[in-house]
Structure 1
Amino acid sequence: MAIATPEMVPRNCRLEGYEKREVPSFEVDGQIVAYASPDSTFAVTKRMIDAAEHSVLIGIYDFTAPYMEDLLLGAMARGVKVSLMLDIDGKGESELFDRLVQMGVRGVSAPSCANSSVRVFTSSHEKVIVIDGEWVLVQSGNYSTNSIPMNVEDGARAGRFRPGNRDTGLAIQSEKLASFFADVLESDMALVDAVPEMLRRPVEDEFFLVERAPTRRPANLFPSETFNLEGPLSVQPVLSPDNYMDVIPDLLAKAEKSILIEQQYIRSTQTNVTRLMQAIAKAKEVSPELEIRIVLGKIFDKEDLPKEQRNLDNLSKTYGLELGEHIRFINTDEFVHCHNKMIIVDGKSVLISSQNWSDAAVSKNREAGVWLTHEAIATYFTRIFENDWESGFRTLPDFAEPEVMTPEALGAGGFIRVDRGDYEEV
């Protein structure tokens, strides 16, 4: 039985017009919870959804983890109203969506290229959850088994540990911020004005993808951390296609001491990504001692190596960023993938978001993140970065010959099933 990656929904469709929205900053004074995958995302999410009293509103790109379906059904059994906007891509995801809708979830097929009728964004790639109009969770991770592995214990220091992607998130208690993000999701859902079942592009999944599981638990695990604000904190939402390219280049250019980045990939020759890299170069010109370090996601197969080598050559030649010294790849002995999209500047400001560094992500997709300056929160994420940097690979990987997996080989164990939405370049 050969196991392969099926064709995904094409993301080069013709888009309808979109009028960018104003994106103000917000002063928040409630709690903020910082969390990470694989360590604590599920524990935080479960705790918050279990505590929901009235409503859970979700906008997410990939939703394939069956235990997250159960979590939402449990909330509905308590009388909580659940709304889900999903970028539906694949038979399994479509069936999960149908089951939730049948149970009473208000489900909308996102207005992306995956929607056969309403196409406003290339991908609806945000990962935003609004609970009771009071909390908003903004994160890099999907509801897939690798981005939100079911580690029930927060920090997973004891018992069984499930490996997964490196992802990060922030849960922010603020009615005003929650209302803003709820309005973004509701406005996008309102663009789809027909019955969701009539708007989905059918995709047949006849194959699936597996890979070898990480062989060891990460050396350090990071429980979530709750921060009680001592006064109002300014939080800047960062949306695509609305204001990412208005906000982030300027913030990068103002860095004085350090820029730490975790990204799935950096397409350094694409137009908008070039602007982001030029902003970093500008900061380096002003502050020659500026520290720049980047952790990237895994390279999936041998065919991707030439493309990544060209990218690394450009980063070296154009920006002086060298593999090993400035750039490393996530350690796949400990993590499935680096699916993170995190930026930390000067050890005090942090962006947690869904935007990859590609032109589509910053200019054509629906994406969402938050930027804030809070040294203790930045320190939490810096510890995660330093852990991943220290263990990261300093050279390009060597690839063995591709394996053709049989049921007998899978039965011997040591493999994990992979969700395609975590890997797709968007």
Structure 2
Amino acid sequence: MAGRTTVALLVAALASAAVAPALAAPTSVAAEPSAAPAGATDGAATPNETVAADQHPHVVAAYPDPVRSGDAGEFAVLSVPPGANLSRYDLSDGHRSASLGTATGAAIDRRRIAVSAEPAVARNLTDRPVVGVDALSLANDGGRLEVVRNGSLVDAAVYRETTEGSVVRWNGTATTWRPLGATDREPVSARNGEVRAFVLPDASGVPLDVLAGADDRLLLAGYTLTSARVVDALVRARERGATVRVLVEGEPVGGRTAREADALDRLAEAGVEVQAVGGAGARYDYHHAKYAVVDDRAVVLTENWKPAGTGGNSSRGWGAVTEQEQIVEGLAETFRADAGWRDARPWESFRRGRSFERGEPAFGDYPSRVDPERVPVDRTTLLVALDNAQPRLIERLDGADESIDVIQVTLGGWDAPLVRTLRRAAARDVEVCVLLSGAWYAREENRQTAERLREWADRRDAPLSVRLAEPGDRFEKIHAKGAVVDDRHVVLGSLNWNEAAATSNREVVLVLSGERVAGYYGGVFDADWRGGSTGLPVGVLAALGGLLALAGLVVWRVEFVGEEPVGVGP
């Protein structure tokens, strides 16, 4: 969408000088759809009776390396056909066998059971019925679990070296590792409706207005929370009788500031339930999601709940408010799943014995050029990491036909899946534009990223351009994490497009589909793109100027907006 004009300049010596359906309920650590048919049973089968392979219990998951001394509480999870007579089966860890005859009654009715030699400990680690057995020891350097019936092997599951605190799951012969307690849900979608689209710093009043309207419930999830205006809104909602809960990251990068500690103290003293996520057994590296559920609507943001973000004092951010029931309840389910796990601790206990860093809030003042707007959507999809966000975004980008405009603080490494996807798109002639932050802390990294992508595009004559934002008086820095695809689909949320964020953090993303909503955010992208710079160091630009004086044979393309060259691209 960003209008670009290119002109070829011949330069002789330049070559040598060129330098992130319906709601599926949160699953337990072992939840997988059962492959066993509903009516399958071997009931009172005789020892010589033949039993179909899909009527046997089979291993679907295991927790071999708990974050506990001596690996206390390790367990395996079996999928059991209804009515199966487990007295005929043994479970072997490759060295010793344990009879499953004690697994009867209610346990079998649940279809999935956990088997452990330490059931009292394991019951605190899974919501599956736990069956105690005399012998079961899962090796940390890899192992094999076998289900044996009347002396004959009926199922085997092999895993390699373990990941501490993670569950291994089997889908056929494929294995995946996920942190204990991590959710594993499908995307949530809602058709038709409208959203209130807005950007920051222009419309900082929108998220605050949403919070101020709480009557029954207010669930606020964030990475950090320092905004006094947000705290005021939460306290007032609590005073009106609303249920108010707050969930933040326990160990943000750089440490927690004294200002944030004071804000969380004030909330806790007002009766707000404040929890911090982190510590031993944490399922995610960072709780990085940024959203709020307020009665029957929700707001999803790219920004933190602090003056620089939702306060409108610094960052370019994107946000959207929705009343689509499936999306609102999907976010509420995400909040409950994250606040209900044991790594979410009450703030009062989490803060004890901790010191806090000095921090200064942002005080910028920026004009409001982009008004919020209610726009129709054909579909809204809720994605969360690490459950489903990255593969679904890759699928969306791989389906692009014409254009992909991306705005990010930084991009991931060269081989990060989303970065590879952008190169694939450009290679098939989809016009890709990437706008990165020009802030001091990201400038050098982003210059190098821009140069490498630009050189790749030049070699292939691919339509991929990269700029570093030069915000002028519109905002201080890029903090948005979004994209506009084919002038039809908008991506916005907390996900930075790097591998660690997509596979280790809790992140929340909306995909908004429709021409009007894409036009809104696309227009903002275009304006920010036109203010972008090449990302080339000043010295390189000076050298380029000298080389232009020399007639040459190497093609270099320079982009123009108006009469001034503001970017160098393919």
Which TM-score applies when normalising by structure 2? 0.58
The equivalent of 1:137 in structure 2 is 299
Which of 279, 288, 294 is residue 125 of structure 1 equivalent to? Answer: 288
CA contact (8 A) 2:437 2:443 kept: no
Cα distance, 1:260 vs structure 2: 0.3
In structure 1, distance between residues paired with 2:374 and 2:444: 43
The yes-or-no answer on 1:74 pairing with 2:216 is: no
The yes-or-no answer on 1:254 pairing with 2:399 is: yes
What SS does the corresponding residue of 1:266 show, helix, strand or coil? Answer: coil
In structure 1, distance between residues paired with 2:493 and 2:372: 17
The equivalent of 2:466 in structure 1 is 327
Alpha-carbon spacing, 1:379–1:306, altered in 2? closer, same or farther (3 Å):
closer
CA contact (8 A) 2:489 2:518 kept: yes
What SS does the corresponding residue of 1:282 show, helix, strand or coil? Answer: helix
In structure 1, distance between residues paired with 2:315 and 2:537: 18
The yes-or-no answer on 1:265 pairing with 2:410 is: yes
CA contact (8 A) 2:216 2:241 kept: yes
Task: Give me the identity figure in percent.
Answer: 21
Moved over 4 A (4+): 13-16, 200-203, 319-322, 396-399
In terms of fraction of residues, the more strand-rich structure is 2
Per-residue deviation, residues 216-252 of structure 1 (Å, max 9, x unmatched): 846x7111101256xxx33221211111221111211
Which of 192, 197, 204 is residue 34 of structure 1 equivalent to? Answer: 197
Cα distance, 1:369 vs structure 2: 0.7
Cα distance, 1:95 vs structure 2: 2.4
In structure 2, distance between residues paired with 1:128 and 1:101: 20
CA contact (8 A) 2:165 2:180 kept: no
Per-residue deviation, residues 28-73 of structure 1 (Å, max 9, x unmatched): 4443110110011x32122222222211111111111111111211
In structure 2, distance between residues paired with 1:68 and 1:379: 30
Which of 315, 319, 338 is residue 453 of structure 2 equivalent to? Answer: 315
Task: Give the letter for the 2:197 counterpart.
Answer: A
What SS does the corresponding residue of 2:477 show, helix, strand or coil? Answer: coil
Which of 317, 322, 347 is residue 167 of structure 1 equivalent to? Answer: 317
In terms of fraction of residues, the more helix-rich structure is 1
The equivalent of 1:186 in structure 2 is 336
- Residue correspondence of structure 1 range 13-28 to structure 2 within 5 A: 16-28=179-191
- Residue correspondence of structure 1 range 13-412 to structure 2 within 5 A: 16-40=179-203, 42-88=204-250, 89=252, 90=256, 91-110=258-277, 115-132=278-295, 134-149=296-311, 163-192=313-342, 195-200=346-351, 204-208=355-359, 217=366, 221-228=369-376, 233-269=378-414, 271=415, 273=416, 275-286=417-428, 288=429, 290-301=430-441, 306-320=444-458, 326-334=465-473, 335-396=475-536
Task: Give the letter for the 1:177 counterpart.
Answer: I
Rg larger for? 2
Task: Give the letter for the 1:172 counterpart.
Answer: T
Cα distance, 1:382 vs structure 2: 0.5
What SS does the corresponding residue of 1:171 show, helix, strand or coil? Answer: strand
Cα distance, 1:316 vs structure 2: 2.6
Task: Give the letter for the 2:275 counterpart.
Answer: V
Alpha-carbon spacing, 1:182–1:99, altered in 2? closer, same or farther (3 Å):
same
Q: Which has the higher contact order (CA 8 A, sep 6+)?
A: 1
CA contact (8 A) 1:116 1:200 kept: no
What SS does the corresponding residue of 1:327 show, helix, strand or coil? Answer: strand
Which segment is superposed worse, 67-76 or 343-352?
Answer: 67-76
Cα distance, 1:141 vs structure 2: 0.8
The equivalent of 1:413 in structure 2 is none
Which TM-score applies when normalising by structure 1? 0.76
The count of residues paired between Structure 1 and Structure 2 equals 355
Task: Give the letter for the 1:353 counterpart.
Answer: G
Cα distance, 1:139 vs structure 2: 1.2
Per-residue deviation, residues 284-313 of structure 1 (Å, max 9, x unmatched): 333x2x221111113325xx6554443233
Alpha-carbon spacing, 1:208–1:52, altered in 2? closer, same or farther (3 Å):
closer
Alpha-carbon spacing, 1:125–1:333, altered in 2? closer, same or farther (3 Å):
same
CA contact (8 A) 2:187 2:388 kept: no
Per-residue deviation, residues 241-275 of structure 1 (Å, max 9, x unmatched): 11122111121111111100110101232x4x2x2
Alpha-carbon spacing, 1:86–1:305, altered in 2? closer, same or farther (3 Å):
closer
In structure 2, distance between residues paired with 1:237 and 1:224: 21
What SS does the corresponding residue of 2:427 show, helix, strand or coil? Answer: helix
What RMSD in Å do the two structures reach over aligned CA positions? 2.8
What SS does the corresponding residue of 1:235 show, helix, strand or coil? Answer: strand
Q: Which 5+ residue runs of structure 1 have no aligned equivalent?
A: 1-12, 151-162, 400-426
What SS does the corresponding residue of 1:261 show, helix, strand or coil? Answer: strand
Cα distance, 1:144 vs structure 2: 1.2
What SS does the corresponding residue of 1:326 show, helix, strand or coil? Answer: strand
What SS does the corresponding residue of 1:166 show, helix, strand or coil? Answer: strand
The equivalent of 1:4 in structure 2 is none
CA contact (8 A) 2:397 2:404 kept: yes
Cα distance, 1:172 vs structure 2: 0.9
In structure 2, distance between residues paired with 1:259 and 1:188: 32
In structure 2, distance between residues paired with 1:194 and 1:296: 35
CA contact (8 A) 2:182 2:283 kept: no
